[in-house]
Structure 1
Amino acid sequence: MDFWVRLLGGSQKKQAAPHDPQQRLARFRQRYNQVLQTWQKTANLANDREALAAIRQGFQALTATLNDESRSPAPHTCLQFAAAQQIYTGISKIAATSHDEGMVRDAVTFYNALIDSEEEDFLENDVFAVSLMNFVNRTVGSGSMGVGEDIEADIVELLFGIAAKIRLQPEILPVWFTTASADSNGRLVNQKVDFAGVTQKEDFPLCYQLIDHVHHEGRIGDFARTGLLYIFESASRSITLEQWIVNSDLPTLMATGLGALYSQMSRKLSILHPDQDMPLVLSLSDYAEMQSNPQAESFFGEDLHNHLVTFLSYLTFWQDVLEHCRSTDVRHTLIDHFQILFLQQLLYPSLLESSDADGGSSVAVLTYLRHILDALDHPELVHMILQYLLALQDYTATSPRTPRSPAAFKRRQSLMQLNAPEQDDDRLNPSLFNLVDLVLGSTASRNPQTVIAALKLTTVILSKNHGYALGSLVKVMYLHHKDPHRTVGSLNKELKEYMDLAIDIAGLDGVDEAYDNYLKDTLSALETHPCSLRTITLPPTSPKSPGYFDSVESAARDVDVHYLLPEDPLFQTIVDLLLRFLTNDIETNLALSEAIISLGICSQLRLEGWLSVDPADYYFESNGSEPTEIRNDISQDIGMAARLPNWSSSATPQLLACLQQLQAQVEALRKDLPDWDEHVANRKNAFRFHEEMNEAMKMSTPQPKPVRQPSDTPAGTWTPQIPKHVLESSTTPSRSQSPRGRKEALSESRGTPTASPAPSRFGGQTLIGSPSRGLSPLPSHIAKRQTTLFSDIDANLAGLKHAELFKRRIRFLRPAGSNVVEVMLSKYQPPPKDSDDTSADAKTEQERDDIREASLLHIITNVVILQDFVLELVALLQVRASLFNEVKFA
């Protein structure tokens, strides 16, 4: 009988039952009551696995019912019951006392279901806010049960969503932020505030939970930082919240948290590449002979990589907060804490205590500071750091012009008193030792790692913040006239001299292809340099009153036309390093050449004296009287400008003279060693072939399908989506393993981030071979043999290191007090060592002959790199002349 009832009519009632609001509510209440009864009957829930399983099933059933009801037509009786009976309070208590991660996860899903419904105004309910924050404090707060990272990430994501709701709906802020110290007008009454501010977690527990998680890696830190960013953005719409942040310990926690992340990174650092992950350009050299301090941590280690990524993410978060925060008092307070608690009390002391003698601390400080400056683009932070570390004018004299409120001024005074030493002699003063002293001392070091780190930092400062380097890191002389005096004839002759020099060094093979590449790279670098913006952009058509950020950035980046002083200490050190180019380690030469190019990229720096000949030193050979038939003054002026000038050897630019000495060293090797040109050509072909195989393998490798990002969440979800730039880690496209594949291709080949989210403007192009040429993907039957073929190529190239000819070591002698390096050819006897000379110990370093040696394998690789560097100088001369109108055609 039951069978016929179900068959004829009962089935329709069974299908309609789930959509009946009253029956759905009855089942929902029954499930909830069962959960409560099981919890109340269990003496020790954490140890009763059967009860835990039953309650978890109940939680999941309740959540499923709420999700189904949210998609069903009204009325939503279960949601109304949940709001009226406040069942979330019981859910949070059960989950928090269960000490079970699965239970906590189910509770988080339940809270998400309530908020996702967007009904009953759960986010506007005081009891709901208290219940949720109590649950969060018990699960991930201090002294909590300690859940796994994935569950903790889900909880922080839940908090992030609430912060995003507060940003979009400021009217719900009083539900989550309350303070008992506000007067009837909503303003905070005066409180006793020390330098750390007032800790009042009960006022805004959501904010404190986010601040507790901003230091984490991965999803936890990303969601916490973005949620806290929304809180600071909301401060501009609430006077109470604004004053509460200024008077609280929130800025102190942020600054000390940044310092804690910086302190986690190793004090001693080695930037040597591991043998198992060494680029080809380094493996075909004496790079493996370099030894690092065993106490220094490897820059390419996973632990340091993770610490550096987290620190730079938090530093970028500071930058984002200052950019999005519209509250002047909050921004001033944050800047004061950054300046005093991080910059003056931590970053500068680490610079002051660094030493080249301990084998790594100078390398660490220089490397960390390079990443800091590379990551920062906010004008206030960059201005503050460089003004202080370079010992320029006092930062307080150029601090924000907008007056501080009494509360913000009081906080700054408290910070200044905290930082004040007991005695004036103990005061840390950058005027006594600053970043300029560290860079100059490091570039002249005998430790290659220190030299590399200093040159890379110099490159970042010159390329991103050139205005701060003038007068401090680089000694210059400013000009009153801006019209060019060089002629097109002198440019043509200089281009020919540099190009002939490049061809004499390493032959004609591949020169056209590489030079075309450098023209494109140089044009891109010149167009994006901050000093070029005024030179190549059109003036504004309408007057505009600059804002605060515009004025700071303009003051920091405006650079007038200037000359490089010949006696500049940094440039003289660079010339000394360039003179030893053939025996330098490969990475030093890559960093050295990049620093020189970065110096020449500035549109306001005249090239005369160091890269080009000063027009005052031109003289022309008389070719007889001008033809009488030429009467046109314009034609005569054009002809005069096109003449090729001559100049004396004393007028040769320093860089050109140094390159000519290097060419003489190469010529001596060519005469002494058989088949020299063949060895150089083979090395260039090896690099080119290795690069082409790299490109072919990349193009034939199938691209993974894009992972669905949270931004693809279907419409109707309650959680505002985290910005895409927060979820995606910034990656810098590195150049392929060509000899000139510098920038981050060597130092960060294992994925260490650059500082800035945008790709480096010096990366992304291959240098040997045209970047625009296309290599079609390999056929499937060839692709199967790629790995084996590539391994064979690497083995054959690496086998060159074991050839007897390439093992041969060649000495280079630079007599004391001389600027000429001599090649000790095979017909000469090896010079005696200093240790055999009884008077050697009495000689100072300046009085001793500088004797260095390198293998033939190493020297040939440096010769290939040297040719590419000269070609880049030629491209720099040519592109600058056309882009900035640096020469006269008439």
Structure 2
Amino acid sequence: MDFWTRLLGGSSQKKQAAANNPQQRLARFKQRYNQILNTWRKSETLANDREALGDVRRGFQALTAILNDESRSPAPHLCLAFAAADQIYTAVSKIAATSHDEGVVRDAVGVYNALIDSEEEDFLENDVFAVSLMNFIGRTVGSGSMGVGEDIEADIVELLFGIAAKIRLQPEILPVWFTTAAADSNGRLVNRKVDFAGVTQKEDFPLCYQLIDHVHHEGRIGDFARTGLLYIFESASKSVTLEQWIVNSDLPTLMASGLGALYSQLSRKLSILHPEEGLPLILTLSDYAEMQSNSQAESFFSEDFQSHMVTFLSYLTFWQDVLEHCRSIDVRHTLIDHFQVLFLQQLLYPSLLESSDVDGGSAVAVLTYLRRILDALDHPELVHMILHYLLALPDYAATSPRIPRSPAALKRRQSLLLLNALDKDDDRMNPSLFNLVDLVLGSTESRNPQTVIAALKLTTVVLGKNHGYALGSMIKIIDIHHKEPHRTAGALNAELETYLNIAIGLAGEAGVDDAYGSHLKDKLSMLESHPCTLKALALPTTPVKSTGFFDSEVGPRDVGPHYLVPEDPLFKALMDLLLRFLTNDVETNLALTEAIINLGTCSQLRLEGWLSVDPADYHFKEAGPEPQEFSNDNFRDMYRANRQPTWEPSATPPLLACLKSLQSQVDALRGDIRDWDDHVSSRKHAFRFHEEMLEAMKATPPPVKAKPPAEPPAGSWTPQIPKYMLDGSSTPSRTQSPRGRKEGLDVKHTPAASPAPSKLGGSTLGGSPSRGLSPLPAPRVANRQTTLMSDVNANFAAVTSSEFLKRRIRFRRVAGSQTVEVMLSKYQPPPKDSHDADTTVGADAETEDDGDDEREASLLHIITNVVILQEFVLELVALMQVRASLFSEVKFA
């Protein structure tokens, strides 16, 4: 046995020594290479010779394996030296191009990767290697090429990305891959006749054009192409020749046109209604199912639409990545000019102008696209350009110093402006006549709930993320100069008590303490992250000098202390929607309350006049002489500041007046509907139970797939459906309210991870927080948990099937009045079928004779809205209290 062991061991050692022998490895390499050449030469038509194709593939794979093995072995590397001396890559390129076979192309890519990864023989610094590789890629994935599968194309683009990464780290190899015949003896480009689109010189930099051809793709292809092109733009700051070439080429035009092409692929008509299957609980417990979308509109939640949206947002994020990394001022300005003219002015604004609420979806589409664009962008120049143009803001920074441009960049900009001047003959294309403000205001008054929802969500993004641009445009303000607060601590306490009483009067006291504590933390986080707060609470420091990469004055206007104009059109529209809160659809109410909360998170916006009482309207009870123990003025001032004032009904803030009107409507319902409070309490507990189940599912690890035991083991916990949910007759003694802001109603699809993620973030950067009661699709944790939640939702649906809860109640608002009458004497029976139901929940139903606004909703729907309304009032109370302490908004003395 020892003899055979030694014999076998010795044989193995001999084989290993032979494999590591450089001379023998070179002999095998040459043999394989010659076999490939002979097979290729002997085959008259390689593409039709399956046996020859198989031999070539096996030969390429053997070459790759030998090269990879040699790269891991000690020197000398004779195979790599032979590959460089005999230029085997030229033969590999020709054989793969003539084979018209995807497998051969894949194996040829493996050979090129092995040569590049070896980092020897300076393949990337070899002109012949560069020409051979780019010819190979042009024949395989270029225009009019053989065409290959996505996986092979992704491997090829990854190869290009690797070369671009090497150029970024080693600028000295750039001349190998980028050459131009239009340069003088000093290396500077000679002026050539250039139109607005620039000069197309693919032969100068084929690597760059191959990347630009693939930046629009999804998945790995797009990720590697965008990152590789990003490295090319970053290298422009290290090469004057490349910088001038980019400015004069058609590369910026191709990038802007590509962005416009992706935007044009998005559906012109959009429906943001959730699909019936898997409808979130909060929408199930309402009249949401009665809403019907336009059959011609594409669903926001469809896979095709989400795929197109993700690709568009990925490319948009790539734009701001390029501007962030590009240190060439001329290249950056040229890109921005093309973005403005070719995308913003010629595509995005016309789509806004042509949108309509009548055709059932185009206004929804444009508003949604604008929201996603602004939510994804953080680059100051792009955000400034979009909002400054769409909001038709005055150019207050026109006289500020700008970073100078080169003559070539100025000439390129003049060509673009001349091109766009042709469209200015049409007066309709002027944002000063119709802009984003007009679209938002018109949409908030729409009869289509989807249009209203889309407008409110866009308003929330602008108010929360780009607040400085909204001032004076979307919301009308009055600047003030005093910074000292006029409100008193006693007035704050009186207002907090008033709002808290409304919240408790709407849906009871159960769960209020926990919900309020959660809202306090949530509002503190919102206020601290607001852009105005960051400036207000920042420590005084020495002004930071401009980096020289951005225009010095690009950005929103400086936000100072201001009041909200009482007649502000947007605020009046919000109050009109709030007055109809009980009959609005749930999603409208969630978007409405979020917009109002975001309005109140600006540290510079005073709450007086819309949320708080104006101090000029305080009335204090006549009291006797002040206590004698106040021996100094400070104690006396503290005593006076803590007195709780009263105010006349005419001095009630508009928001408080609307909430009192809603409280009156709820009181009317409570007085006429039996067990009203029990129904509301059960609904609150249902939401709380559903939230706890979701949290438990997220915290529970996926179970190991195994055969389930006949009986649960000792100590295991099986969730049980409470009895009151099954029969709806009893009410738990202690209920909880859903609270805290979680994910919004939209399904957020972020772009796939890029090899070089943006420092400015992706689609989710700076996103405003969503509503606490936002419906959440059940997470896919495990089949057992999904089945459990399906059972829970099914039991909830069984409870809601009660004919009593489907009874409809009508609300009437007399024309020109702020009072809403609950027509309790006119119960409406539930609709017999879906076609008889009001297909637009909360839509106008004006009578023909007197013009009164009449709306109706089911009792089930109204109860859900009451629970949402209580949460909103608690949010307002938390907002006022946190602001008072964080910004010192009240006087204590």
Cα 1:428–1:758 change in 2 (3 A) is closer
Q: Does 1:850 align with 2:853?
A: yes
Query: SS at the partner of 2:600?
Result: helix
Cα 1:827–1:197 change in 2 (3 A) is closer
- Paired AA for residue 792 in structure 1: D
Cα 1:46–1:486 change in 2 (3 A) is same
What number of residue pairs does the alignment pair up? 833
Q: Report the counterpart of residue 875 of structure 1 in structure 2.
A: 878
Unaligned residue ranges in structure 2 (runs of 5+) = 705-735, 753-759, 775-780, 830-835, 837-843
Q: Deviations over 1:126-185 (max 9, x none)?
A: 000001111111111101111111111111111001001000000000000000000011
CA distance, structure 2, for counterparts of residue 767 and residue 285 of structure 1: 13
Conservation of the 8 A alpha-carbon contact between 1:388 and 1:395: no
Considering only aligned residues, what root-mean-square deviation do their CA atoms show, in Å? 2.7
Q: Deviations over 1:99-142 (max 9, x none)?
A: 11111111111111111111000000000000111111111110
CA distance, structure 1, for counterparts of residue 492 and residue 264 of structure 2: 51
Q: Does 1:697 align with 2:700?
A: no
Q: Does 1:586 align with 2:582?
A: no
CA distance, structure 1, for counterparts of residue 177 and residue 223 of structure 2: 21
Conservation of the 8 A alpha-carbon contact between 1:38 and 1:55: yes
- Paired AA for residue 222 in structure 2: G
CA distance, structure 2, for counterparts of residue 349 and residue 8 of structure 1: 78
Q: Report the counterpart of residue 205 of structure 2 in structure 1.
A: 204
What are the residue-to-residue correspondences of 1:202-241 with 2, within 5 Å?
Answer: 202-241=203-242
Cα 1:369–1:741 change in 2 (3 A) is farther
Conservation of the 8 A alpha-carbon contact between 1:817 and 1:847: no
CA distance, structure 2, for counterparts of residue 439 and residue 845 of structure 1: 28
- 1:482 Cα shift? 1.1
CA distance, structure 1, for counterparts of residue 158 and residue 503 of structure 2: 57
Q: Report the counterpart of residue 638 of structure 1 in structure 2.
A: 638
- 1:828 Cα shift? 8.2
- 1:412 Cα shift? 0.8
Q: Report the counterpart of residue 663 of structure 1 in structure 2.
A: 663
What are the residue-to-residue correspondences of 1:668-683 with 2, within 5 Å?
Answer: 668-683=668-683
Q: Does 1:533 align with 2:566?
A: no
What are the residue-to-residue correspondences of 1:337-486 with 2, within 5 Å?
Answer: 337-394=338-395, 397=398, 401-421=402-422, 424-426=425-427, 428-486=429-487
Conservation of the 8 A alpha-carbon contact between 2:162 and 2:228: yes
Conservation of the 8 A alpha-carbon contact between 2:807 and 2:828: no
CA distance, structure 2, for counterparts of residue 858 and residue 246 of structure 1: 59
What are the residue-to-residue correspondences of 1:516-555 with 2, within 5 Å?
Answer: 516-540=517-541, 542-548=542-548, 552=552, 555=555
Conservation of the 8 A alpha-carbon contact between 1:515 and 1:872: yes
What are the residue-to-residue correspondences of 1:14-33 with 2, within 5 Å?
Answer: 14-33=15-34
Q: Report the counterpart of residue 826 of structure 1 in structure 2.
A: 825
- 1:672 Cα shift? 0.4
Query: SS at the partner of 1:111?
Result: helix
Q: Report the counterpart of residue 716 of structure 1 in structure 2.
A: none
What are the residue-to-residue correspondences of 1:128-207 with 2, within 5 Å?
Answer: 128-207=129-208
CA distance, structure 1, for counterparts of residue 173 and residue 848 of structure 2: 71
Q: Report the counterpart of residue 117 of structure 1 in structure 2.
A: 118
CA distance, structure 1, for counterparts of residue 396 and residue 263 of structure 2: 23
Conservation of the 8 A alpha-carbon contact between 2:680 and 2:867: yes
- Paired AA for residue 886 in structure 2: L
Q: Deviations over 1:427-446 (max 9, x none)?
A: 61000100000000000101
Of the structure 1 ranges 844-853 and 150-159, higher mean CA displacement relative to structure 2 is found in 844-853
Q: Report the counterpart of residue 809 of structure 1 in structure 2.
A: 808
Query: SS at the partner of 1:517?
Result: helix
Q: Report the counterpart of residue 602 of structure 2 in structure 1.
A: 602
Conservation of the 8 A alpha-carbon contact between 2:474 and 2:570: yes
CA distance, structure 1, for counterparts of residue 553 and residue 67 of structure 2: 52
- 1:798 Cα shift? 1.0
What are the residue-to-residue correspondences of 1:607-626 with 2, within 5 Å?
Answer: 607-626=607-626
Q: Report the counterpart of residue 729 of structure 1 in structure 2.
A: none
Conservation of the 8 A alpha-carbon contact between 2:516 and 2:878: yes
Conservation of the 8 A alpha-carbon contact between 1:488 and 1:888: yes
CA distance, structure 2, for counterparts of residue 464 and residue 57 of structure 1: 57
Conservation of the 8 A alpha-carbon contact between 2:808 and 2:828: no
- 1:750 Cα shift? 7.6
Cα 1:755–1:654 change in 2 (3 A) is farther
CA distance, structure 2, for counterparts of residue 594 and residue 218 of structure 1: 34
Conservation of the 8 A alpha-carbon contact between 1:271 and 1:299: yes
CA distance, structure 2, for counterparts of residue 8 and residue 291 of structure 1: 77
Conservation of the 8 A alpha-carbon contact between 2:461 and 2:768: no
Q: Report the counterpart of residue 799 of structure 2 in structure 1.
A: 800
Conservation of the 8 A alpha-carbon contact between 1:498 and 1:874: yes
Query: SS at the partner of 2:860?
Result: helix
- 1:698 Cα shift? 1.6
CA distance, structure 1, for counterparts of residue 301 and residue 12 of structure 2: 67
CA distance, structure 2, for counterparts of residue 750 and residue 682 of structure 1: 34
Q: Does 1:331 align with 2:337?
A: no
Query: SS at the partner of 1:198?
Result: coil
- 1:47 Cα shift? 1.4
Q: Report the counterpart of residue 253 of structure 1 in structure 2.
A: 254
- 1:631 Cα shift? 1.8
CA distance, structure 2, for counterparts of residue 694 and residue 117 of structure 1: 51
CA distance, structure 2, for counterparts of residue 609 and residue 755 of structure 1: 37
CA distance, structure 2, for counterparts of residue 429 and residue 844 of structure 1: 38
Q: Report the counterpart of residue 104 of structure 1 in structure 2.
A: 105
Cα 1:248–1:788 change in 2 (3 A) is closer
What are the residue-to-residue correspondences of 1:275-290 with 2, within 5 Å?
Answer: 275-290=276-291
Conservation of the 8 A alpha-carbon contact between 2:465 and 2:767: no
Q: Report the counterpart of residue 891 of structure 2 in structure 1.
A: 888
Conservation of the 8 A alpha-carbon contact between 1:93 and 1:135: yes
Conservation of the 8 A alpha-carbon contact between 1:246 and 1:407: yes
- Paired AA for residue 81 in structure 2: Q
Of the structure 1 ranges 7-16 and 174-183, higher mean CA displacement relative to structure 2 is found in 7-16
Query: SS at the partner of 2:810?
Result: strand
Cα 1:461–1:845 change in 2 (3 A) is farther
- 1:599 Cα shift? 0.2
Conservation of the 8 A alpha-carbon contact between 1:489 and 1:643: yes
- Paired AA for residue 586 in structure 2: I
Query: SS at the partner of 1:51?
Result: helix
The two structures have a TM-score, normalised by structure 1, of 0.90
Cα 1:10–1:679 change in 2 (3 A) is closer
Conservation of the 8 A alpha-carbon contact between 1:811 and 1:853: yes
- 1:15 Cα shift? 3.9
Question: Identity percentage over the alignment?
Answer: 75
CA distance, structure 1, for counterparts of residue 573 and residue 849 of structure 2: 14
CA distance, structure 1, for counterparts of residue 849 and residue 439 of structure 2: 20
Cα 1:46–1:484 change in 2 (3 A) is same
- Paired AA for residue 373 in structure 1: L
Conservation of the 8 A alpha-carbon contact between 1:591 and 1:742: no
Query: SS at the partner of 1:813?
Result: strand
Query: SS at the partner of 2:398?
Result: helix
